[in-house]
Amino acid sequence: MLDIPLRVRVDVDALIAEQRDMGVCDAIGRNAPAGRPAAMSTPHLPKVAGIDSAVPGSAHTAAALAAGDPGPVPAIGPGALIQDRLASWVSDLTTLHELTERLARTATLDDALHELLRAGAALVGARRGMVVLEPPEGRGPAITTGLGLAHADLGHIETVPRSATPHGRILDGAPATIPGAVAQADLFRDEGLDPRLREVAARLGYAASYALPLATKEAGKLGVAVWFYDEPAEPLERQRHLVGLYGRYATEHLARLLELDRARRRLATITEELLPSRLPRVPGVRLAARQLSGPRGGGEWYDALPLPEGALGLAVGAVSGSGPSTLAAMGRLRASLRAYAVMEGEDPVAVLSDLELLLRLTEPARSATALFAYCEPALRRVVLAGAGHTPPLITGTRRTEFVETSLSAPLGMLACWEAPSVEFSPAPGETVLLYSDGLLRRTGDSMDRAFARLHAAAAGVPRALRDDPAAVVDHVLRTVLPGVDTDGPGDADGPGDADDVVMLAAWFA
């Protein structure tokens, strides 16, 4: 051990104490000595990751130094200890900064929880872990995610009574208190341990655990993260300090994501309420529809309503903008189109002309695209008009092609909108697909490539599914947007995942 004078020892302790309060640079500036001590200029081994510079070099290194300099190698002074300590602090701060930056780049709860587990495992020196997210009621879903643990392993852990597990004690504690971390250094030597927990630990092959609460005064208690060691161990004091700082930042980040997720769910619920709750039943045609909500709540919509004399009105559209105000405008526009369709649905151009006039008078700062089709299923006759909207797609066993519609501007873009209608006749067993341009934007491709992808997806529908419009819609969406969940409203990851998607299918007998 180095023989450090008392005065120098006091200075080092003061530096360490003040650095905790004011930061590395300020502590150095306040405690800098008036003169340059000789010990600060004494040569010492450089700081290398994984190597303690206070440990003497090997005999070969000492011999080489002696060959170049006959004099003895000077002893390492207190200045080297201070530099080593500062280098360790800087390294810890750099590591913490990099890990928090990676966490800040996560945009979903699942990604954030997995990043939390990976970073925490690196900080405490563990290999496996799990996080149990149980926010207060109404703030978000309960989630359990593992690192290096399969679903069956998490199920084994859940068989242990919560009161016997460290994460259970943290979660079930007083809600108003911020619990501390719980370390179990050796599960098999702890006589007070529940035998069921020891049995599960032996089955999963871990011998120690460290549980960190995910709780702050601002965010409250959101959950707990637990890391597991293969051998008896527990994190050092320095590791506990770092993972504690990281855990507080992660808790605040998770709280923000929970709030964002709750806002998205509210927008999705509002969108569902503004769209048809069920599709009408009209002889000679079968209908199916799907809607995918984006994170910001767009204004894309669809509608289907029975008309006099066995006719059917089909419509899709999109209002510019996003958020609650756009959803409100979309609801008003859809309700107005239904009224115009009942009055003059056999003339789609007149329906869209009335809708354009209403939009200019009530929503002068907005524009909208729309497509309305007047269908007579008994005659298999469709008359449609579009205002800046994407053309329908006809698909069947003999053909898959886009309907040729005339070029037209969106509603609200011109002083007076007008465009000719188009009439076509679907063959028996063919399906007409009406969709929003959000489907094309979500692909991330150019419009030409997106249209080609949509055409290929419709042409590739298996023959056994072509008589089921719901199966046709699901196949097309899953092909154009791989990984999308068509069972209900939800987000799809991709370059354009902020866009809503709607698709309406009509199969003609």
pLDDT at 28 over 60: no
Tokens of 306: 């029975």
In this prediction, residue 47 carries a pLDDT of 40
Coil, helix or strand at residue 372: strand
One-letter identity of residue 479: T
In this prediction, residue 105 carries a pLDDT of 95
What percent of the chain has pLDDT above 90?
58
Q: DSSP letter string over 307-356?
A: EGGGEEEEEEEEEEEESHHHHHHHHHHHHHHHHHHHHHTT-HHHHHHHHH
Helices 24-31 & 6-22 angle (0-180, nearest 10): 140
pLDDT digits (tens, 9 = 90+) for 355-406: 999 998 888 888 999 999 999 999 999 999 999 999 999 999 999 999 988 7
Between the two ends of the chain, the Cα-to-Cα distance in Å is 93
pLDDT at 425 over 70: yes
pLDDT at 411 over 80: yes
Q: What average pLDDT does range 152-173 have in this prediction? A: 92
Q: Count other C-beta atoms under 10 Å from residue 287's C-beta.
A: 19
Phi, psi (rounded to 5 degrees) for 395: -135, 140
Rounded (to 5) percent helix, strand, coil in the chain: 45, 20, 35
Is the distance from CB of 289 to CB of 508 less than 8 angstroms?
no
Tokens of 185: 């250094």
19 — pLDDT class (breaks 50, 70, 90): very low
Is the distance from CB of 428 to CB of 509 less than 8 angstroms?
yes
Phi, psi (rounded to 5 degrees) for 346: -70, -10
In this prediction, residue 4 carries a pLDDT of 41
Q: Count other C-beta atoms under 10 Å from residue 469's C-beta.
A: 23
- Residue 413 and residue 114: Cα distance in Å, rounded? 47
Q: What is the mean pLDDT of the chain?
A: 82
In this prediction, residue 50 carries a pLDDT of 39
Query: Which residues share a beta bridge with 438?
Result: none
Q: Is 354 or 408 the better-scoring residue by pLDDT?
A: 354
**H-helix segments, 32-164:** 59-68, 78-104, 109-124, 151-158
In this prediction, residue 75 carries a pLDDT of 57
- Residue 488 and residue 438: Cα distance in Å, rounded? 17
pLDDT at 5 over 80: no
Tokens of 368: 């909208």
pLDDT digits (tens, 9 = 90+) for 80-122: 788 888 888 888 889 999 999 999 999 899 999 999 999 999 9
**Most distant pair of Cα atoms in the chain: their distance:** 112
The whole-angstrom distance between residue 10's C-alpha and the CA centroid of its chain comes to 50
In Å, what is the CA distance from 430 to each residue of 286, 361, 379, 467, 508?
11, 39, 14, 8, 6
Q: What average pLDDT does range 159-172 have in this prediction? A: 92
Name the E strands within 139-297: 143-147, 182-184, 208-216, 220-229, 285-292
Q: How many residues are recorded in the chain?
A: 509
407 — pLDDT class (breaks 50, 70, 90): confident
Q: DSSP letter string over 1-58?
A: -----HHHHHHHHHHHHHHHHH-HHHHHHHH--SS--GGGGS--PPPBTTB-TTS---
Q: Is 123 or 70 the better-scoring residue by pLDDT?
A: 123
Q: Is 12 or 107 the better-scoring residue by pLDDT?
A: 107
Question: The pTM is what?
Answer: 0.63
- Residue 111 and residue 143: Cα distance in Å, rounded? 12
Helices 469-480 & 447-459 angle (0-180, nearest 10): 140
What percent of the chain has pLDDT above 70?
81
Q: What average pLDDT does range 473-482 have in this prediction? A: 95
Q: Specify the DSSP element, H or E, that contains 195.
A: helix 195-204
Structural domains of the chain, ranges and CATH numbers in brackets: 6-65+75-97 (no CATH), 106-262 (3.30.450.40), 275-508 (3.60.40.10)
In this prediction, residue 297 carries a pLDDT of 66
